[in-house]
Chain A
Amino acid sequence: MSVQMTTPIHLIVILGCRKLMTMKRHFLKTLFSFLALALFSAVASAGVKIEHWTTASGARVYFVETRGVPMLDVQLDFAAGNVYSVPDKAGLPSLTRSLLESGAGDLDEEKLAERLTDTGAQLSGRVDNDRASVALRTLSAKPERDAALTLMHTVLSAPTFPQAALTREKERSIAAIREADTQPDAIVAKRFAAAIYPAHPYGVSATVESVAAITRQDLIDFYQQHYAAKHATISLIGDISRSEAEAIANQLSQALPAGGASVTLPPVTLPKSQIIKVAHPAAQSHIQIGLPAVRRGDADYFALLVGNYSLGGGGFASRLMKEVREKRGYAYSVSSYFYPQLLPGPFGINLQTKRSQVNDALKVVDDVLSRFMVQGPTAKELVAAKKNLVDGLALRLDSNAKLLGYLSTIGFYGLPLTYLDDFPARVNAVTISQVRDAFARHVPRDHLVTVVVATE
């Protein structure tokens, strides 16, 4: 496959792209991995049959049987994201997740990697604000599947957290933080999170000092506390039967630690409206505008989703793209999003523009947002948004990988099992005044924070 592709839209297909860096255990905090935000923009049943039960040990299980390809995906999501970090040790949740693969049972790091590779399986995971995930993709033929699941079981139940691996990964993490602190995209994301979540764990990023303070005992304690069946959801999709899924879920969840009590998260408060300017020599200003806006499961979610399509979520159908990019050529990429979380997740607008025209671009964005807040979408825009969201459902559910994303989100956030079935009706029921009201409630403009990195 050929090298380096460029695309006209922000969605970006990275298939066959030149591999810039291989960082097997790169665990820099994925606090705001905004490119993934489209993920939950739309969900629907389209004939997807979700089976749900709870294991004896308390893990909630979500299962979809698909027989088309002889493979199986299993993902465990724990309430073990960055929001659960120990104070002054930001980075602990990511390090804990990462170190799960650095040795388990009687297998050291290298043996573990060898055994896993020999099964043909792929073990992966991620950590965001709320959750930490451990995911396995394996062939479904019994020998390979059993071997891979046994290893996943070992990783989940008996991680050894070797000191040498921890020391090394702390060093790599610190180096990655220092590097990220020189790059405008990373700086703007970090400053934005800190500004919209003042004095809240959602706003805290790992620092050189916080990572340096993390000990092996911290990892062990964090694992024992948070990687418990009662804090876990298990999502399975693929070429297995319900009874096989039950056996797998039982086996995996039985092995998990007992876990501590559920943690009460501190409330999110709205930030003061402010403009933060950060010096940087980049050619473009990197801009993020927003505030904490909406929880997962909020009654206004569908009004926000439908409205945001017309504001800045719908690519070239959106006002931001038309006004900032199409009419004026101010930016390659400009978009807006809602990212619901356990606690109010961000609403944001992102763009980058040549630094000399940053004020002009900000003015356009402000005008678009102001007008949208007052008027909401036009009748025509509303129809277009609904049509794309509803008719586009099928293609957001057409692979095991995509379905797994939805399954795990429905499970982790306790959304109704009928969420998929209800989706078209919920979208179609949204009115213009609902959009206006929802935006007024969730995007109070007198609390908006603007961060500009690389400006005069």
Chain B
Amino acid sequence: MKLPICLAMLLFVGVSPAPTFANPVLNTFETTLSNGLRVIVKEDHRAPTVVHMVWYRAGSMDEKDGTSGVAHVLEHLMFKGTKRLPSGEFNQRVAAAGGQDNAFTSYDYTAYFQIIPKAALPEMMQLEADRMANLVFTPAEFASEIKVVMEERRLRTDDNPQAQVFEAARGAAFLAHPYRRPIIGWMNDLEHLTWQDAHHWYTQWYTPSNAYVVVVGDVNHKEVFRWAKKYYGVHKARALPERKPQNEPEQKGWRRVSVKAPAKLPYLSMLWKVPRMNDVHKDRDPYALEVLAAILDGNDTSRLAKNLVRGGRIAQSAGAGYDGTVRGEATFMIDGQPTEGRSVAELEAALRAEITRIQVAGITPEELSRVKIQLIAGQTYKRDSLMAQAMEIGGMEAVGLSWRDVDSLVDQLKGVTAAEVQAVAQKYFKDDALTITVLDPQPMDAADPKPSANPAIKTLH
């Protein structure tokens, strides 16, 4: 399935009752309500508990310049009142049911969940359905909550040197694509955000056809479908705003950025633009990139830890990660801190050398086998957690893939060859698609700044 198709589909909400799909092997069942809301249920009867999630396909990438952070601010405001429910009552009702609840906002989506004893599920569905359409917050509540979000930004980003590097790296890597903006929003945008901005966001994106419900746990799927129809089915479908692709133009030349913050160790992030997963069955490169990330940093034997942390003692820490299941642009990141006495430039050279070794000599059958063994074992371990299973389903659906593709995805990963891994290492890790961001550590005494190390200049190039 091509990624953007699901977005277009949502504008055309069917009126005829949709068929129910089931996969008995996965114990997973799906139906679509007449208003376009999809409901996915995975039965897991190990314990008398349930995870209930509502996902909206609206994240920070759907924001406009000047109102960055509004998706996340609205997420906070969703815990205020509704036409029927007094402000603050939502959390109280979840707590009284013995439940835990929370929510999260990403570039691609916003999701809400409750973990509850199974008897509380209908009440939770009623509550979520209510705030899907009937949210009420006052300007005063907005004014107070925006301060909370600014505190959150200070905590997560402003006082966190590596988070600042991450923010700066994305800002430099993307010129056109909205992934250049931080999820939590720029402080100045938060300062000027209005309650009307938040309310507008809500009316634009919080509609049944832009949402899906994921339920995992000790439930009967038919019963859940009935409750879904009763509570969520009453809402009218609404058309969504047009979504422009906002594709990033091809990068033509490396970019280097530096960030100064109080810290002791420098930190280096290398971000390459790589393809995302579009078609679970036809794509090959995303799988090979996933395996490459695991060869570098997937288990205790992986190369970065073995060669740079333990062997060469160049890195205090080093990591690699590929994010291929995204709505927007995918990236492959390698990062690390040099050991004391080694420079960022030395670490960069060592990280580059690891890529080069794979480009030239490939990977061993043992390394490939280890990645697959851990992948397969991980499929079993994942079943221990309801939340992990719900997140997997929700995460796939958020980017236009299907929960049905989870097994195909694992099968495709099992089929990746050493030659394919070597090929993607050769194909994508070019300097022209690279953004390097360096943390330039500053002494804590701001009155006595050390002379700038200026790593943006003192590098290999």
- Is A183 within 8 A of B263, CB to CB? yes
Residue B374 at the A interface, CB < 8 A?
A: yes
The answer to whether B300 and A24 have CB atoms under 8 Å apart is yes
Cβ contact within 8 Å between A6 and B377: no
Is the CB–CB distance between A179 and B184 below 8 Å? no
With contacts A15-B388, A23-B317, A178-B264 known, is A332 near B151, CB below 8 A? yes
Q: What residues of B have a CB within 8 angstroms of the CB of A182 in the complex? A: 262-264, 441, 444
Task: Tell me whether A290 is interfacial, beta carbon within 8 Å.
Answer: no
B98 contacts A395, CB within 8 Å? yes
CA distance A71 to B369 in the complex (A): 20
**A405: interface (CB < 8 Å):** no
A15-B387, A316-B95, A399-B385 known; A333-B265 Cβ under 8 A: no
Contact between B319 and A9 (Cβ–Cβ < 8 Å)?
no
**B376 an interface residue at 8 Å Cβ cutoff?**
yes
Q: Is B180's beta carbon under 8 Å from chain A?
A: no
Q: Does B301 contact A (CB under 8 A)?
A: yes
- Name the interface size band of chain A: 35 or more
Q: Are B145 and A2 in contact, CB atoms less than 8 angstroms apart?
A: no
Within 8 A of A (CB), among B377-413: 377, 380-381, 383-388, 391-392, 395, 398-399
Q: Within 8 Å CB of B319, what residues of A?
A: 19-22
**With A and B bound together, what is the CA distance between A403 and B206 in angstroms?**
37
Q: Please, how many angstroms separate the alpha-carbon atoms of A99 and B450 in the complex?
A: 37
- Which residue of A is nearest B79, CB measured? A8
Assess whether B92 is interfacial by the CB under 8 Å rule. yes
Interface status of A269 (Cβ within 8 A of chain B):
no
Residues in A whose Cβ lies below 8 Å from that of B318: 22
Smallest Cβ-Cβ distance to B112: which chain A residue:
A8
Bound CA span A7–B78, Å: 12
Binds B, one of A53-61, A86-94, A117-125: A117-125
Q: Tell me, yes or no, whether B82 is within 8 Å of chain A by CB.
A: no
Check B158–A283 contact: CB distance below 8 A: yes
Distance between Cα atoms of A392 and B317 in the complex (Å): 39
Q: Mark A1-33, 1 if CB is under 8 A from B, else 0.
A: 111111111011101101111111110000000
CB distance from B359 to the nearest CB of A (A): 22
- A38 vs chain B, min Cβ distance (A): 9
User: Which residue in B106, B150, B321, B326 is a CB contact (below 8 Å) of A5?
Assistant: B106
| B240: interface (CB < 8 Å) | no
A401 lies within 8 A of B339 (CB): no
| B421 at interface, CB cutoff 8 A | no
**How near does chain B come to A319, taking the closest CB pair, in angstroms?**
13
Given A8-B79, A329-B144, A398-B386, A116 and B300 contact (CB-CB distance below 8 Å):
yes
Interface assignment of A172: CB less than 8 Å from any CB of chain B: yes
Question: Judging by beta carbons under 8 Å apart, are B79 and A316 in contact?
Answer: yes
Query: Contact partner of A401 among B155, B297, B374, B385, CB < 8 A?
Result: B385
* Bound CA span A109–B307, Å: 12
Stretch at the interface among B41-49, B129-137, B247-255: B41-49
Chain A residues, Cβ within 8 Å of B381: 69, 71, 122, 137
**Docked complex: A172-229 residues within 8 A CB-CB of B:** 172, 174-176, 178-179, 181-184
Q: Which residue of A lies closest to B378 (CB)?
A: A120
Contact across chains for B398 and A2 when beta carbons are under 8 A apart: yes
Does B30 count as interface, using CB distance less than 8 angstroms?
Answer: no
The answer on a CB contact under 8 Å between B49 and A283 is no
Docked-complex contact A24 and B98, CB < 8 angstroms = no
Within 8 Å of chain B (Cβ to Cβ): is A330? yes
Question: In the bound complex, do residue B95 and residue A2 qualify as a contact, i.e. CB atoms below 8 Å apart?
Answer: no
B321 A393 Cβ-Cβ under 8 A: no
Question: B76-116 vs A: 1/0 string, CB under 8 Å?
Answer: 10010000000010011001111111111111110000011
User: Does B117 sit at the interface, judged by CB under 8 A?
Assistant: yes
Q: Decide if A120 touches B373 in the complex (CB within 8 Å).
A: yes
Contact across chains for B117 and A392 when beta carbons are under 8 A apart: yes
Chain B residues close to A by CB (< 8 Å): 46-49, 59, 72, 75-76, 79, 88, 91-92, 95-109, 115-117, 143-152, 154-156, 158-159, 161-162, 166, 183-184, 262-265, 297, 299-301, 304-306, 309-310, 313, 316-321, 323, 325-326, 335, 337, 339-340, 366, 369-370, 373-374, 376-377, 380-381, 383-388, 391-392, 395, 398-399, 441, 444-446
Nearest 9 A-B pairs (CB), nearest first? A391-B98, A329-B147, A120-B377, A398-B47, A392-B98, A22-B319, A316-B91, A332-B152, A5-B104
